[in-house]
Structures are given as structure tokens and as C-alpha cells.
């Protein structure tokens, strides 16, 4: 597909470094966890988890996101998608645990919305470095219980999402849905493996994407050659054990770099 010309209708400053951009384009068939390629013309095109059917939630990290942060309401970008496989959709009366770190909230927000709409029960562990960096606190609260955690203790538990997770009885959850920095997700996977429930967990991964449509192989993971852009970005924990996850990834030139 060609990029859809999408006008920015609203910019919400979520934290000092994270903004939500809403568009006049709504990808109504987007499932929670799927992503769009956001073309900032003349700069680059980057993958972003859909935080709304018509929106993305972005942290300023590189050239494309920096240019995006200079944009105003009324400016436009090109959108392609939705692409990839998202989270398993919640069913009525299921018990879902969401674990979100930093801007990792982006694909999990719509999952929480979907869970309430079908009558599933949601508990969220929401983590950030500091209180002012917490995103979608109210959105997750509307879906169920929220356990806050910050690295500096400025809100909720002082520590990491794993600090909260360690004290939880995870066996009561049908599914555990995770997104955040890879080291955080890796530590969650290890903890869930110890508790014997890693196959109930789904992780939304980040890798360098070129084609984004499952052809070029730039985002393939060892050792199964799974394409993060098409077989993922959401992958079951059982597929990630004994993989490169948490150890290394590939750069734009496909060289291995440590996570």
C-alpha cells in the first residue's frame, strides 16, 4: 500500500519526552499490538505501535521522531498499516495482567480498552523512571487495578515492574501482556519462566525494520528466523526462550549489537 496522507488533528503532551499524535486517518481494523509505519517525509519512516486506531504515542529518540516533535496540528505524515500480529484478543471473564514500562504503554492502551469492552478483568503494572514519565495512568485505571512503580520512588513502589511482579500470584492470570525496554521484558520473561507461566505471556518486541512487510529479513531473530515485523511484533514467551531476546539485536547494517 502507498502511505495514507494523514493530518495531525491533535497533539497531547503525555510527559516531557512522550507525545500522542492523533490523525484524521482511523485504521479501524487495527488490533491491539499491531503497528503502523510512520513516514516523516524527507527524513525516514519508522514503526510505531498504534496507541489508538487513529493515534500513536511516541518518545523522541531519533531523527524521525525529533522531526515529528517539531510538527504542529494540521501538519501531515504518511501512514502505512496496520501491520504485523498483535496481542491475543481478550475474551469475556478472562483475567489479564498488563505490564508496561515507559513508552511501552503504546500498544497496551488499546488492549486495556478492548479488554473492558468484552468484559475481561484487567490488572496493570505501570512503570516509569519517575512520576512525571508515567503514561496512560488514567486509561489503565478505567480498565482495572493499577500498580504504579517508579525507579526513583516518586510514585508507587520504588523499583521496577519486576519488583511488583515478584510479589504477585501470576498463576491467576490467563494471559500476561508485556511491552517496554527489552531488558525489562527479558527480566519479566525470566521471572515468569521461574514461575512456569512464560507460555501465557506475550511480548511486543522492537527490532530495526526495513521493509516492514515480512520480505527483506532485516528484523529476523535468532534462532528460529522469526520476522518481528510479520510473525510479530507480539510474540509468545515460549518462542523467546533460548532466542537472541535480551542478549543482542541487529543494527541497520545487520551487525549484532548488545541489547
Partner 1 sequence: MVKITGIEFRNPTILASGIMGTTGASLVRMANSGAGAVVTKSIGPEPKAGHPNPSMVKLECGFLNAMGLPNPSYADFDNEIKIAKEGADVPVIASIFGGNAEEFVRVAEGLADSKPDAFELNVSCPHAEGYGATIGTDSCMVESITAAVCDVVDVPVWVKLTPNVTDIKSIGKAAENGGAAAVVAINTLRGMAIDINSGYPILGNRFGGLSGSAVKPVAIKCVYDLYEALEIPVIGVGGVSTWEDAVEMIMAGASAVQIGSAVHEGVEVFADIATGIEQFLQNNGYAGVEDITGLAHEVI
Among 3, 159, 181, 246, binds partner 1 (CB under 8 A): 3
Phi-psi label, residue 104: left if phi above 0, alpha if psi -120 to 50, beta otherwise: alpha
Among 18, 212, 235, 239, binds partner 1 (CB under 8 A): 212
Q: In the window 192-211, what residues touch partner 1 (CB under 8 A)?
A: 209-211
Contact (CB, 8 A) for 27 and 50: yes
Place of cell 521496577: 160
Separation CA 211–CA 231 (nearest Å)? 14
**Which of 122, 121, 249 lies closest to 185 in space, CA to CA?**
249
Name the pairing type of β-strands 226-227 and 220-221.
antiparallel
Question: Nearer Cβ to partner 1, position 121 or 249?
Answer: 249
Stretch that binds partner 1, among 51-59, 156-164, 197-205, 220-228 (CB under 8 A): 220-228
Q: Taking the complex as a whole, how short is the minimal distance between the CB of residue 96 and partner 1, in angstroms? A: 30
Among 108, 191, 218, 240, binds partner 1 (CB under 8 A): 218
Phi, psi of 168 (to 5 degrees): -95, 150
CA atoms within 13 Å, Cβ hemisphere of 90: 30
What sign for the dihedral angle of Cα 144, 186, 130, 20?
Answer: negative
Q: In the window 93-152, what residues touch partner 1 (CB under 8 A)?
A: none
Question: Nearer Cβ to partner 1, position 113 or 222?
Answer: 222
Total residues at the site for partner 1 (CB under 8 A)?
Answer: 39
Residue 5 binds partner 1, judged by CB under 8 A: yes
Stretch that binds partner 1, among 37-45, 54-62, 65-73, 84-92 (CB under 8 A): 37-45
Q: In the window 46-85, what residues touch partner 1 (CB under 8 A)?
A: 46, 76, 78, 80
Q: Taking the complex as a whole, how short is the minimal distance between the CB of residue 205 and partner 1, in angstroms? A: 15
Separation CA 6–CA 248 (nearest Å)? 35
Residues of this chain that bind partner 1 (CB under 8 A): 1-3, 5, 37, 39, 41-46, 76, 78, 80, 209-218, 220-225, 227, 250-256
Amino acid at each position: 500500500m502507498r502511505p495514507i496522507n494523514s493530518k495531525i488533528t491533535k497533539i497531547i503532551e503525555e510527559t516531557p519526552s512522550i507525545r500522542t499524535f492523533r490523525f484524521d486517518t482511523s485504521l479501524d481494523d487495527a488490533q491491539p499490538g499491531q503497528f503502523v509505519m510512520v513516514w516523516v517525509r524527507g527524513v525516514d519512516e519508522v514503526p510505531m505501535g498504534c496507541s489508538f486506531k487513529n493515534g500513536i504515542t511516541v518518545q523522541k529518540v531519533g531523527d524521525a521522531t525529533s522531526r515529528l516533535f517539531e510538527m504542529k496540528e494540521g501538519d501531515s505524515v504518511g501512514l502505512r498499516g496496520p501491520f504485523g500480529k498483535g496481542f491475543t484478543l481478550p475474551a469475556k471473564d478472562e483475567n489479564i495482567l498488563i505490564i508496561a514500562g515507559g513508552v511501552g504503554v503504546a500498544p497496551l492502551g488499546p488492549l486495556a480498552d478492548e479488554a473492558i469492552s468484552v468484559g475481561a478483568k484487567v490488572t496493570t503494572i505501570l512503570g516509569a523512571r519517575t512520576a512525571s514519565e508515567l503514561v496512560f495512568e488514567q486509561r489503565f485505571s478505567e480498565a482495572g487495578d493499577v500498580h504504579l512503580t517508579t525507579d526513583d520512588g516518586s510514585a508507587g513502589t520504588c523499583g521496577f515492574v519486576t519488583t511488583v511482579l515478584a510479589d504477585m500470584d501470576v498463576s491467576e492470570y490467563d494471559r500476561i501482556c508485556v511491552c517496554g525496554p527489552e531488558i525489562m521484558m527479558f527480566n519479566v520473561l525470566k521471572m515468569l519462566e521461574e514461575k512456569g507461566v512464560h507460555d501465557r505471556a506475550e511480548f511486543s518486541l522492537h527490532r530495526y525494520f526495513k521493509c516492514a512487510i515480512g520480505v527483506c529479513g532485516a528484523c529476523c531473530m535468532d534462532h528460529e528466523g522469526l520476522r518481528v515485523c510479520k510473525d510479530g511484533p507480539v510474540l509468545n514467551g515460549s518462542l523467546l526462550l533460548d532466542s537472541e531476546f535480551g542478549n543482542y539485536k541487529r543494527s541497520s547494517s545487520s551487525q549484532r549489537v548488545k541489547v
